Amino acid sequence: MAKRKNSLRYVIQPASSRRDSVENEDHQRIIAMRFASMKRAPEKAPVWQKLKHLPEAPGVYQFRNASGDLLYIGKAKVLRNRIRSYFQKSTAHNLRIQIMVSLVADVTWILTDTEAEALLLEEQLIKLHKPRYNVALK
């Protein structure tokens, strides 16, 4: 009878361990799928080419200089409109923004499902990276 209890415990214990393992794998798979579904900007394309392919969706954008240093992180309800507004000659930006835009060598973005999600991601990224031209959330 003692052998039977031990064998049952052995059968039951791995099952619960397997369930935890499966739940953990499912959780990791969900996280991986979430980040994989976040569409990012095409890599290694000139800024002017990237401006042609900007999505009409909410998200967070990043401006980098030629050295790859992060200059600015922003969020937008419509990425296409917001990012293009920086590069339009007719737009009247203050001198600080004009200088920043003249330094931009690369634009990247991360799509989000909502503007609220973009706001939260922007805030986290600014606190993490402290870009030179972000002054409000430092």
User: Which range marks the domain in which residue 71 is found?
Assistant: 39-129
Is residue 112 domain-shared with residue 78, that is, in the same domain?
yes
pLDDT the model gives residue 11: 43
Question: Which one-letter DSSP state was computed for residue 114?
Answer: S
Is residue 14 domain-shared with residue 43, that is, in the same domain?
no
pLDDT the model gives residue 53: 87
The answer as to whether 138 is a domain residue is no
Is residue 30 domain-shared with residue 45, that is, in the same domain?
no
Is residue 117 domain-shared with residue 62, that is, in the same domain?
yes
Q: Which residues of the chain have pLDDT under 70?
A: 1-45, 90-91, 137-138
Q: How far apart are CA 1 and CA 96, in angstroms?
A: 82
Q: What DSSP assignment string belongs to 32-99?
A: HHHHHHS-BPPTT--HHHHHHT--SS-EEEEEE-TT--EEEEEEESSHHHHHHHHH-TTS---HHHHH
Domain CATH code at residue 114: 3.40.1440.10
The answer as to whether 94 is a domain residue is yes
pLDDT the model gives residue 8: 42
40: which residues sit within 8 A by CB, 6+ positions away?
108, 109, 110, 111
pLDDT the model gives residue 29: 65
The tally of domains found in the chain comes to 2
Q: How far apart are CA 92 and CA 58, in angstroms?
A: 23
Is residue 43 domain-shared with residue 106, that is, in the same domain?
yes
Q: What are 6's two structure tokens?
A: 């031990």
**Hey, what amino acid is at 71?**
L
Q: How far apart are CA 124 and CA 118, in angstroms?
A: 10
Is residue 15 domain-shared with residue 32, that is, in the same domain?
yes
Collapsing DSSP states into helix, strand and coil, what is residue 105? coil
The answer as to whether 137 is a domain residue is no
pLDDT the model gives residue 12: 44
